Structure 1
Amino acid sequence: MTDIQTTFVEGFGGAKLAVHRTGDVGGRPLLLLHGLFSSAQVNWIKFGNAAILAGAGFDVIMPDLRAHGESDAPHDPATYPSDVLVRDLQVVVAELGLSNYDLGGFSLGARTAVRGVLAGLTPRRLVLGGMGLTGLSGWTRRSAHFVDAIDRFGTIERGDKAFVAQAFMKSMKIDRVAARLLLGSVDDTKQEALAQIGMPTLCVCGADDQDNGSAPELAAALPSGTYAEVPGNHMSSVTFKDFGRAIANFLE
């Protein structure tokens, strides 16, 4: 059983953010951000990938994004300005005193990591999981799919394209008011902006995951991008230990 320690920091607007940590406190910090409707527990801890990274000598730091996991889910629209997740990320980096660290994310976490770097964060290496080129530049379309799932929650039947999102929200007990506000705070990232991401970057994606476009195309568009394929689709790739091993191999 992985030993997890949880503390809380105050994010933008006073929202309480849960930060889960495991591994070698003297090791290189690795800050990992989970995906939409998920949590640090589900994306990183439950299926053993945090343990793999901790075993590789990393100090693994895994916040729950606002409106997710053990973090606050405020209903005040003022607490969801543009790029609020980047603001929260900057707070976590500052509060923990991180200066020489690696940064990674899955899906929404990958978007947040990219926009964090564009906003001035300087990790040594970057990991983008479950993310393709159009997932960054075409977020508005992708977001609309999830807003639709929220608005039709409880009425979506099997076979509908929004059924999986509804089922995941149910299993994760998502606060749909907060999640809808959060979706409106995430912006598109134009392809030309990727030229500013100079650090070595791993694009790791499930072989059957096309939810956010092509990960190989994203790797090719980055100045120092590398692609690694692991088993699974967008929902299942993080359940395979290949995911954690690919990250560890890249960072080592």
Structure 2
Amino acid sequence: MSIEPRFFEARDGVRLAWREMGEGRPVVLLHGLFSNAEVNWIKFGTAARIAEAGFRVVMPDLRVHGSSDAPHEPEHYPPDVLVHDLEDLIAHLGLSDFDLGGFSLGARTSTRAVVAGIKPRKLILGGMGLAGLAGWSQRGQFFRRVIADYETAKRGDDTWMSIQFMKTMKIDRVAARLLLDSFTDTTPDMLAALAMPTLLVCGDQDQDNGSAEELAAVLPDAQLGIIPGTHMSSVTQPEMGAAMVAFLMA
């Protein structure tokens, strides 16, 4: 299934895209790094499962991703720019009572948004552990190498799979490098802001962003949902949507 994007203008004039499916209580879902709404949420049926359960699923393409613009000027990448974009989308759609979720970068952005004052009723963090929030600098260095090695990496290199994914998704390397520099860490003391019911849904072979169990232990109201898969494969599993629906319906 393919859904045509809609567009709005962020506060800095950059054109950003989002897609929607279903009717009912809004659930805003943010995709992972180098992916987009179509691949993370629509292609493998997660959005359809949530929509069928009676929700309006709102899925932006993050800046530099999918159908959204990828400007090359550094002024378009202040710290936490993706949080600003989410705030602008929420304002554009007039959302006041909604749930929020994301996978990997989308989970990190959702967390940063709550720390910044966005207050969803429920929160879903997919593919995320404590180290992925508090230790972004180390993970960030890996993705900077992915961009640096884009033309030279060989099969078997640790950056190879991420580079192939970037090429498949037609990610603009210049814009992606600028976006990486906008990401900020969420220290453990900031996590008290995540006081709403929170689902941590993570693949049983996924340690890419650290331990989901460690993150669950420090959040005020978290439950852990372990599903099959690695960081790359778990988001394709039907169990992802099933876990999210069960949490949102509870």
TM superposition score normalised by structure 2? 0.98
Higher mean alpha-carbon deviation, 130-139 vs 152-161, is at 152-161
Structure 1 residue ranges (4+ consecutive) displaced by more than 6 angstroms after TM superposition: none
Deviations 1:11-58, CA, capped at 9 Å, x for gaps? 14111110100011xx11000000000000010000111110111111
Match of 2:79 in 1: 82
Deviations 1:216-242, CA, capped at 9 Å, x for gaps? 111111000110011110111111111
Whole-angstrom CA distance in 1 between matches of 2:218 and 2:156: 34
Match of 2:8 in 1: 9
Alpha-carbon RMSD across the aligned residues, in angstroms, is 0.9
For the 8 Å contact 1:82–1:185, the answer to whether it is kept is: yes
Match of 2:194 in 1: 197
Whole-angstrom CA distance in 2 between matches of 1:50 and 1:196: 27
Q: Is residue 2:25 matched to residue 1:21?
A: no
For the 8 Å contact 1:12–1:84, the answer to whether it is kept is: no
Whole-angstrom CA distance in 1 between matches of 2:237 and 2:223: 20
Q: Secondary structure at the match of 1:14?
A: coil
Whole-angstrom CA distance in 1 between matches of 2:128 and 2:165: 19
Residues 69-218 of structure 1 mapped to structure 2, 5 A cutoff: 69-218=66-215
Q: Shift of residue 86 of structure 1? A: 0.3
Whole-angstrom CA distance in 2 between matches of 1:133 and 1:12: 31
For the 8 Å contact 1:220–1:226, the answer to whether it is kept is: no
Q: Secondary structure at the match of 2:27?
A: strand
| Aligned pair partner of 2:55 in 58, 61, 71 | 58
Q: What are structure 1's unaligned runs of at least 5 residues?
A: none
For the 8 Å contact 2:5–2:67, the answer to whether it is kept is: no
| Aligned pair partner of 1:32 in 7, 29, 34 | 29
For the 8 Å contact 1:5–1:22, the answer to whether it is kept is: no
Q: Shift of residue 154 of structure 1? A: 1.7
Q: Shift of residue 6 of structure 1? A: 2.5
Q: Percent identity?
A: 59
For the 8 Å contact 1:23–1:57, the answer to whether it is kept is: yes
Q: Number of residue pairs matched? A: 249
Q: Secondary structure at the match of 2:151?
A: coil
AA at the equivalent of 2:216: A
For the 8 Å contact 1:198–1:223, the answer to whether it is kept is: yes
Q: What are structure 2's unaligned runs of at least 5 residues?
A: none
Whole-angstrom CA distance in 2 between matches of 1:12 and 1:185: 16
AA at the equivalent of 1:7: R
AA at the equivalent of 1:14: G
Whole-angstrom CA distance in 1 between matches of 2:170 and 2:5: 20
AA at the equivalent of 1:40: A
